[in-house]
Structure 1
Amino acid sequence: MQADLSPVIAATAQWLTRAFPASGGALASALCEVQARQAVTVAAWLRYPTAMDAALLGMAGPGGSARLDWVTGSDPAAAGDLDAHAWRTWVDEVVASWAACLLADPELAALAVAAVADGSHATGTPAAFRRLLAPDDSDRRAAALLRHPDLLAPVADLHQPHLVDLLKPGRTLIA
């Protein structure tokens, strides 16, 4: 049974960094990517809390980026991305929406990281999400678009109510 979320995490983080690119050079791109990947990892662990959930995702697939592209006004064909279209099929809309919520709202991010801290995905892995939870000035500058609440709103609003409901204080996740 495959319980590896890495294809979904990689594709969804890539989608976020393409939709909300870094402002600056190579270092800014790397800092932006790390922040996106941390947010997507937490969101994926919340969305697929058990090995069985992750295995089912591997069988059924996450759904792709079509609706996210439409919501953000992106046109992969116009950007010359048709040759590399396969990665877009591994983008998970709910995970992208939840990651956008976490990037825009530090309190929600802290709740989410606390919720996954004892989950099955974090077992045996020292998961540190510093760039998500406590970005420094260079992180903020690099990911100005990626963390801008108004720009993220169309994506975040897609599935924010479910995330907020999931993270209600006192509720435990299945893990």
Structure 2
Amino acid sequence: MVVVPPPPAPGWPPVSTTSSLAPVITATAQWLTRAYPASGGALQRALAEAQAHQAATVAAWLRYPTRMDAELAALTGARGSGALDWAAGADDGLPLPGPSDGAHDADPPAPAEDAEAWRTWVDEAVASWAACLLARPDLASAAVDAVAGTEHAGAVPVGFRRLTSPTEGDTAAAALLRHPDLLEPVARLHRDGLLER
């Protein structure tokens, strides 16, 4: 006797509302780990990458809380990493200007031609919000609670323990990535928007 399985239920498999945000999340997490590299070997790099990815995910879900928001973000495109590189001094060609030269009042210089196309997917606001979350686990916990009711959280079962309750190993691996003073130039770019959420 051959048993024929029932047809799949409507809407199965579930469509992830984060699929439109995946390139933004991945690129933004990559930017964070390059700007604030892990100390140590492969394990430390993996721990730092996990924390950066969790922070970028929560930040992206907060910034674009609905499927429509995510699709519009994908259509309009991210702003890229140019201003972030300038703010963090992460790009060798764009050092962070000193406080006495007055350059902080001007627009950041245009980035040199960059062959790394992934940088165009970096979302400045998402990176700034992620920096805020990495610097303050209490704020990260509140953000995780806030995204729990979004469409994204219902579509993708995921935890954020490394972001909200980092172990000593997590913190040691991401010493630069979680350093409030180092993150401040990036965090302050869009912090007000995050706190309004």
TM-score by length of 2: 0.79
Secondary structure class of the residue paired with 2:152: coil
Q: Which of 42, 61, 67 does residue 26 from structure 1 map onto?
A: 42
**Pairwise mapping of residues 70-109 of structure 1 onto structure 2 (< 5 A)?**
70-75=86-91, 82-83=114-115, 85-109=116-140
Give the whole-Å Cα distance in 2 for the aligned partners of 1:116 and 1:143. Answer: 24
- 2:18/2:152 contact within 8 Å kept: no
Post-superposition Cα deviations, 1:34-66, rounded to whole Å, max 9, x if no partner, equal: 000000000000000011111111111011000
Give the whole-Å Cα distance in 2 for the aligned partners of 1:137 and 1:4. Answer: 34
Deviation (angstroms), 1:77: 5.8
Deviation (angstroms), 1:20: 0.2
Deviation (angstroms), 1:3: 5.1
Identity %: 62
- The structure that has the greater radius of gyration is 2
TM-score by length of 1: 0.88
- Segments of 5+ residues of structure 2 without an aligned counterpart are 1-16, 95-112
Does residue 58 of structure 1 match 2:74? yes
- Segments of 5+ residues of structure 1 without an aligned counterpart are 167-175
Deviation (angstroms), 1:103: 0.3
The 1:28/1:3 distance shift into structure 2, 3 A limit, reads closer
- 1:62/1:91 contact within 8 Å kept: yes
Which letter does structure 2 place at the counterpart of 1:82? D
Counterpart of 1:118 in structure 2 is: 149
Q: Which of 128, 131, 147 does residue 178 from structure 2 map onto?
A: 147
Corresponding residue pairs, total = 163
Secondary structure class of the residue paired with 2:153: coil
